[in-house]
Amino acid sequence: AGIHYPVPLHLQKVYKEAGYKSGDFPNAELAADEVISLPLYPEISEEQINSVVETIKDFYKQNSERK
| Distances in whole angstroms, Cα of residue 48 to Cα of each of 2, 36, 52, 60, 61 | 21, 17, 6, 19, 20
Over the stretch 35-61, which tens digit does the pLDDT of each residue have?
888 988 999 999 999 999 999 999 999
What is the rounded radius of gyration, in angstroms, for the C-alpha atoms of the chain?
Answer: 16
**Amino acid letter, residue 12:** Q
Please give the model's pTM, rounded to 2 decimal places: 0.62
Give the chain's mean pLDDT: 91
CB atoms under 10 Å from CB of 15, counted, come to 12
